[in-house]
């Protein structure tokens, strides 16, 4: 419901109940938009046009329960079936056959269905002219009819997500970002929306980020490490496991504590370039202006020190393993 065209339609319709949202999904299609059905629906809802079931020139009171949710407009395929049942006594199976026939628009089949509909209406003491006019109207609108169960599914989920976005904006946007975090273009679009919503988004940080986007105690969205190109769940698990012993203090401390068998050079390079290790660099500054002036220099230093930090960590690991082996022999 967040496309530009749909937003314009929402402004005109001003939905105030779930039925309106369900109708909104069915209305926002080329057929209803081009046929004038949308304008008629809106005018009927807001009292600018007469409510009729289904038309001011030929109404049948028995259709009011069927068409009241859509202000007398034949909008759903299910309504086509219900009209056939209410007026002409169709069985559910027969009504579905009528729906299918109207969808195919075969003249010979429609002539057959028209005769059956008028005959059924006659059995219910409904005037033949009224029955014929309503059948013609049903046939016209059936070409635009949408499955209500589909509309209801989309409408309900749209309402639920709109409620969450309104009342829990940060957790909602964090969840949406996590769902699309491997789609860079979508992430960029969502970040722009976050700024429009005036939410705070913190840069990726190996001392704070999880694999997915999260929200901290201050209500700020924390960038998920999984959204960084080349960083999978394995490396992030290695990072979160290592920082259980406390925050990383610098690049050498980071390399010494994480399992380098799970974090290769390419991954470490991606983490540095994304800013996830910015706070471990020598030029990091909490003051935004000062930090912006030194951000490139800070990352350049980290990249330059990466090989040395990895070698130092590997040497420390070998020394530790040798010492452990010596103890085992001594025992």
Residue 117 has pLDDT above 80, yes or no: yes
What does the pLDDT look like over 65-83, one tens digit per residue? 999 999 998 889 899 889 9
Other beta carbons within 10 Å of 207: 15
SS3 76: strand
* Residue 113 near residue 83, CB atoms below 8 Å: no
Residue 4 has pLDDT above 60, yes or no: yes
* 47 conformational bin, left if phi > 0, alpha if psi -120 to 50, beta if neither: left
Residue the block writes with tokens 């769940």: 233
Integer Cα distance of 231 and 167 in angstroms:
32
pLDDT given for residue 324 in this prediction: 53
pLDDT given for residue 329 in this prediction: 47
Task: Kindly state the tokens that stand for 204.
Answer: 């990726």
Q: Which of 76-90, 146-160, 193-207, 281-295 has the lowest mean pLDDT?
A: 281-295
Q: Which of 32-41, 78-87, 316-325 has the lowest mean pLDDT?
A: 316-325
Work out the average pLDDT over 207-234: 95
Integer Cα distance of 288 and 281 in angstroms:
15
Residue 148 has pLDDT above 80, yes or no: yes
pLDDT given for residue 327 in this prediction: 55
Pairing, β 221-222 against β 201-202: parallel
* Residue 206 near residue 248, CB atoms below 8 Å: yes
What does the pLDDT look like over 236-255, one tens digit per residue? 999 999 999 999 999 999 99
At the top level of CATH, which class does the domain 168-330 belong to?
mainly alpha
pLDDT given for residue 221 in this prediction: 97
Estimate to the nearest angstrom the gap between the alpha carbon of 136 and the chain centroid: 39
Q: In the sheet that 214-215 helps form, which strands lie side by side, from edge to edge? A: 201-202, 221-222, 214-215
Work out the average pLDDT over 165-194: 95
Residue 330 has pLDDT above 60, yes or no: no
Please indicate whether residue 83 or residue 142 has the higher confidence score (pLDDT): 83
Residue 163 has pLDDT above 60, yes or no: yes
Task: Locate all alpha helices (DSSP H) within the chain, ordered by sequence.
Answer: 4-13, 18-27, 30-35, 37-45, 64-67, 77-88, 92-104, 107-123, 128-142, 148-167, 169-179, 184-196, 233-242, 251-257, 265-274, 288-330
Please indicate whether residue 157 or residue 321 has the higher confidence score (pLDDT): 157
Residue 17 has pLDDT above 60, yes or no: yes
* 36 conformational bin, left if phi > 0, alpha if psi -120 to 50, beta if neither: left
Residues above pLDDT 90, as percent of the chain: 64
pLDDT given for residue 331 in this prediction: 52
pLDDT given for residue 227 in this prediction: 95
Q: Which of 256-260, 273-277, 291-295 has the lowest mean pLDDT?
A: 291-295
**Confidence label for 112 from pLDDT (cuts 50, 70 and 90):** confident
- What is the residue-averaged pLDDT of the chain? 89
Q: Which of 3-12, 221-230, 270-279, 315-324 has the lowest mean pLDDT?
A: 315-324
**Confidence label for 58 from pLDDT (cuts 50, 70 and 90):** confident
Integer Cα distance of 254 and 244 in angstroms:
12
Work out the average pLDDT over 150-176: 95
**Domain ranges, ordered by start, for the chain:** 4-150, 168-330
202 phi, psi to nearest 5 deg: -85, 145
């Amino acid at each position: 419901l967040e496309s530009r065209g749909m937003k314009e339609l929402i402004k005109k319709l001003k939905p105030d109940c779930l039925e309106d949202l369900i109708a909104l999904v069915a209305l926002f299609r080329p057929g209803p938009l081009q046929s004038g059905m949308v304008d008629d629906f809106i005018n009927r809802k807001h009292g600018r046009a007469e409510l009729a079931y289904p038309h001011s020139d030929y109404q049948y009171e028995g259709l009011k329960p069927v068409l009241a949710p859509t202000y007398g407009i034949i909008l759903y395929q299910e309504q086509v079936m219900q009209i056939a049942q209410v007026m002409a006594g169709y069985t559910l199976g027969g009504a579905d056959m009528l729906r299918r026939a109207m969808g195919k628009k075969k003249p010979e089949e429609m002539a057959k269905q028209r005769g059956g509909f008028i005959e059924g209406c006659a059995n219910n003491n409904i005037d033949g002219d009224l029955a014929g006019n309503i059948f013609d109207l049903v046939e016209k609108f059936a070409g635009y009819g949408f499955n209500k169960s589909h509309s209801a599914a989309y409408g309900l989920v749209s309402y639920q997500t709109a409620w969450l976005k309104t009342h829990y904006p940060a957790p909602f946007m964090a969840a949406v970002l996590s769902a699309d975090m491997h789609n860079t273009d979508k992430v960029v679009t969502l970040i722009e929306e976050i700024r429009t919503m005036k939410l705070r988004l913190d840069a990726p940080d190996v001392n704070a980020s999880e694999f997915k986007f999260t929200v901290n105690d201050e209500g700020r969205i924390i960038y998920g490490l999984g959204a960084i190109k080349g960083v999978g769940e394995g490396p992030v698990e290695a990072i979160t496991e290592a920082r259980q012993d406390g925050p990383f203090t610098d690049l050498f401390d980071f390399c010494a504590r994480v399992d380098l068998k799970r974090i290769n050079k390419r991954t470490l390079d991606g983490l540095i370039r994304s800013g996830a290790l910015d706070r471990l660099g020598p030029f990091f500054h909490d003051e935004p202006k000062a930090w912006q002036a030194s951000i490139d220099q800070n990352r350049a230093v980290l990249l330059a020190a990466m090989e040395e930090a990895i070698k130092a960590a590997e040497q420390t690991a070998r020394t530790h393993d040798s010492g452990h082996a010596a103890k085992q022999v001594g025992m």
